[in-house]
Chains A and B, each alone.
Chain A
């Protein structure tokens, strides 16, 4: 019951305890909580003890340029111990500043947690690489790989953003990715045309989404139930067709023509950002386009305003003449199409054939990214990049041989998300009507 005790309006909002606390926090003049400063201080202490005091005594080397770049930069060498100490002291300083602001009743500015995160990750990277058997990695490769791994996550989380912003919880991202991957492989093989495969993946994702929409909007079934069940259904369906159709005749059904890298001359030779921005496949470029379009659409157009109104207060939206359920239906469908395109990444870019469960739970990481990104396309994009980074780092640490078990690296996105939804890192608030069906009354 301590939750109600900390509420600024004890007893006034009886029910809901913890939720009621959040509510009053959100509605009243946003009193600053101790959560963020305390969390930052804890993390800074962890950084100071582990990355600083217990830091390794080697020099960590980070390669910047790759052979293909049009000018070469020397590799950066950081003495791990010193680097850890310096960075963690800065982190402690930032945390102290947040505590100072709190004592004056002010919230930490937005740049503070972002800077903190960047420095923390850097310190962590120096610590990991410095403690490895071969203390050298290619930073360019690490970042390019992270972006590649993040592609399906970004598409998946954009799908989630579109659905949740309009008031439909989308747990079926995993199913949409998997459906997209399967269809892309099948169609790209049968037509020998990867672009048709891409299109088919979008259609498949949209179909999965339509089932979600029909069951949750028309039949008013609990959206989480439909999502969970759809994941199982798509997994079973693709697994069944994979075993019966694809495996029987691999050449005819499961050897898709992949999408090639499109290299933009000169620009792609810029170190680090060249490969990320200018040396991608079509799906990779579409990712950037999708993030910008969804963001602009949601926050700068009339359509987006309506969508958000439906997600926050459907009754008000209805009163103003917006067709709530139609808006929801089409938004969810578009979301599914976007996730489907993300699914095509698995079979058209990453691997050259479909296998069972090829999406491997990335739909759930995408869900995590959307929450960590606070239901905002840009936020979800960076969260997905962070999770892609963790994913990539996990395979790299296994190769260079560090003391951190790779399983703990793999856990990171999930733990970070738990901290995020528990409100320990910032405040995450879903759209108010997310998950609630709307019946015109």
Chain B
């Protein structure tokens, strides 16, 4: 939106006044780098964050470990969990009861807070990873399988969002892309009757094409008219949602003899096989999600197209000057992002649900944004973040049953994690890890680095 209004900056803009604090200098340099000197919106993934090390890195190894982006991620998760725990405790009945005599016996109050928070998190863990109370080993690991099942659509949709981030595009449209993919895949699944193998392949292709078209349309509109992709994708989400609602009330999609908006069940030839036996819901989609992660990694780090995506994401003007076709990149990256989100739609209709309902996308499309942000938009980071949020989702169900803590707490924790990760200085400040003021000699050096950084 902004890069159509290039503004000129004097060369002196990046020269910091002598004596400014090093932290402020670093921030200024990082922003100058991220926004191409204030001429464009910062990329969703700051260029300085992509390399994984802080600007100006003239620090000891120990300090770098404790202030690096990996550590910030861990601390952000910890901080979010602590705040979530406090929130759980604050609405707990026993905590409320003990708080009335807080000053008489504070230990009662503190232990009630501890019990409330940890009780919920233990239930969350038991529902997400491993349940030691279950009868057999198979059942003990059932929660983990459930986590992987729920993580599958999160990972693929998250990859779609992450890929677009790397190309400097904000793809909020995973929700709509999942829905469109779900519609096409489900229709192929229940309306056509084809032999084993071919049918499933066609379902997968239909879903991927559906997502790719819906995403590619956004890319096309952005490339041709300059419309902002955030607005386009938000609007397209709603269009897709209402379109699905309409279809599910037409004879072509509604299950015969059913008044609810629900499609016929997909043919057995059209669904993903369950890879670890029929006792778990885990299906082939998870393997495909791993394959997609590898593919995106290869695309971004080893292919020419991926290099172009990243170049456009870092600075579209420089990319254009270097001979990269920015319009083509925009369309292509949105189409691929849509295709990846489309895989989530297929995983939903052909794997987990086996029917098409108006809740086919649940909130996976929106969760995918937080997944991509938590994964810092790297393929394997997104994969791990998808697993983590899958675990939250799976565990939250169990937590609600066991302790009565509402599922919504997961949304709070998820969003706090992303907020904190996006603001490393805040997390470092909370844990007292902000870099100390350095000596003037070193400050001079980092000032030079800031200048060159700004010019890049």
Binding site for B on A (CB under 8 A): 1-3, 14-23, 26, 169, 171, 215, 219-222, 224-226, 228-230, 232-233, 235-237, 239-245, 313, 315, 356, 361, 364, 367-368, 371, 405, 407-408, 410-411, 414-415, 417-418, 421-424, 430, 432-439, 441
The CB with the most chain B CB atoms within 10 A, among A241, A367, A411, A430, is that of A411
Q: B91 and A14: CB pair below 8 A?
A: no
A415 to B5, CA, bound (A): 27
Q: Which of A18, A408, A423 contacts B223 (CB 8 A)?
A: A18
Q: B3 and A15: CB pair below 8 A?
A: yes
10 contacts between A and B (CB under 8 A): A16-B3, A16-B320, A23-B6, A220-B27, A225-B44, A232-B414, A236-B415, A422-B221, A436-B41, A441-B14
Interface secondary structure of B, over-half rule: helix
Q: A414 and B235: CB pair below 8 A?
A: yes
Q: A229-B415, A239-B406 are in contact. Are A3 and B327 (CB under 8 A)?
A: yes
> Which B residue's beta carbon lies closest to that of A174?
B234
From residue B118, how far is it (CB to closest CB) to chain A in Å? Answer: 17
For B252, what are the chain A residues with a Cβ–Cβ distance below 8 Å? none
Q: A245 and B2: CB pair below 8 A?
A: no
Asked whether B265 is an interface residue with its Cβ less than 8 Å from the other chain, the reply is: no
Q: A232 and B422: CB pair below 8 A?
A: no
Known interface pairs A1-B327, A215-B419, A220-B30; 6 further A-B residue pairs with C-beta atoms within 8 A, sorted by A's residue number:
A16-B6, A219-B426, A235-B408, A240-B411, A368-B231, A407-B249
> Which A residue's beta carbon lies closest to that of B326?
A17
Q: Which of A230, A236, A315, A421 contacts B231 (CB 8 A)?
A: A421
Near A by CB (< 8 A), chain B positions 392-436 give: 405-406, 408-412, 414-416, 418-419, 422-423, 425-426
Q: B223 and A220: CB pair below 8 A?
A: no
A15 to B13, CA, bound (A): 22
Asked whether B68 is an interface residue with its Cβ less than 8 Å from the other chain, the reply is: no
Q: Which of B224, B416, B426 contacts A2 (CB 8 A)?
A: B224
Q: B422 and A219: CB pair below 8 A?
A: yes
For A1, what are the chain B residues with a Cβ–Cβ distance below 8 Å? 325, 327-328
Interface string of B31-66 (1 = CB under 8 A from A): 110010011111110000000000000000000000
> Which A residue's beta carbon lies closest to that of B327?
A17
Near A by CB (< 8 A), chain B positions 218-244 give: 221-228, 230-232, 234-236, 238-239, 242-243
> Which B residue's beta carbon lies closest to that of A409?
B242
Q: B221 and A418: CB pair below 8 A?
A: yes
A310 to B40, CA, bound (A): 15
Query: Which of B124-132, B195-203, B277-285, B366-374 is found at the contact surface with chain A?
Result: B366-374
Asked whether B74 is an interface residue with its Cβ less than 8 Å from the other chain, the reply is: no
Asked whether B268 is an interface residue with its Cβ less than 8 Å from the other chain, the reply is: no
From residue B20, how far is it (CB to closest CB) to chain A in Å? Answer: 10
Q: A215 and B422: CB pair below 8 A?
A: yes
Q: A229-B370, A233-B415, A236-B415 are in contact. Are A15 and B32 (CB under 8 A)?
A: no
For A16, what are the chain B residues with a Cβ–Cβ distance below 8 Å? 3-4, 6, 316-317, 320, 326
Q: B238 and A361: CB pair below 8 A?
A: yes
For B5, what are the chain A residues with a Cβ–Cβ distance below 8 Å? 23, 432-433
From residue A175, how far is it (CB to closest CB) to chain B in Å? Answer: 10
Q: Which of B42, B170, B239 contacts A414 (CB 8 A)?
A: B239
For B230, what are the chain A residues with a Cβ–Cβ distance below 8 Å? 169, 171, 224
> Which A residue's beta carbon lies closest to that of B28?
A439
- Count chain B residues whose beta carbon lies closer than 8 angstroms to a beta carbon of A: 79
The CB with the most chain B CB atoms within 10 A, among A222, A233, A243, A434, is that of A222
A227 to B39, CA, bound (A): 21
Q: B225 and A236: CB pair below 8 A?
A: no
From residue A233, how far is it (CB to closest CB) to chain B in Å? Answer: 4
A364 to B236, CA, bound (A): 12
> Which A residue's beta carbon lies closest to that of B429?
A219
Asked whether B100 is an interface residue with its Cβ less than 8 Å from the other chain, the reply is: no
Asked whether B172 is an interface residue with its Cβ less than 8 Å from the other chain, the reply is: yes
Q: A232 and B415: CB pair below 8 A?
A: yes
> Which A residue's beta carbon lies closest to that of B13?
A441
The CB with the most chain A CB atoms within 10 A, among B28, B41, B426, is that of B41
Q: A16-B3, A438-B38 are in contact. Are A229 and B419 (CB under 8 A)?
A: yes
Q: B4 and A315: CB pair below 8 A?
A: no
For B3, what are the chain A residues with a Cβ–Cβ distance below 8 Å? 15-16, 19
Interface string of B141-163 (1 = CB under 8 A from A): 00000000000000000000000
> Which B residue's beta carbon lies closest to that of A410?
B242
> Which A residue's beta carbon lies closest to that of B12?
A441
From residue A294, how far is it (CB to closest CB) to chain B in Å? Answer: 21
Q: B225 and A423: CB pair below 8 A?
A: yes
For A222, what are the chain B residues with a Cβ–Cβ distance below 8 Å? 41-44, 422
Asked whether B87 is an interface residue with its Cβ less than 8 Å from the other chain, the reply is: yes
For A239, what are the chain B residues with a Cβ–Cβ distance below 8 Å? 406, 408, 411
Asked whether B119 is an interface residue with its Cβ less than 8 Å from the other chain, the reply is: no
Asked whether B321 is an interface residue with its Cβ less than 8 Å from the other chain, the reply is: yes
A23 to B39, CA, bound (A): 13
For A417, what are the chain B residues with a Cβ–Cβ distance below 8 Å? 231, 235
Q: Which of B225, B316, B320, B406 contacts A240 (CB 8 A)?
A: B406
For A441, what are the chain B residues with a Cβ–Cβ distance below 8 Å? 13-14, 16, 28, 32, 38
Asked whether B246 is an interface residue with its Cβ less than 8 Å from the other chain, the reply is: yes
From residue A353, how far is it (CB to closest CB) to chain B in Å? Answer: 17
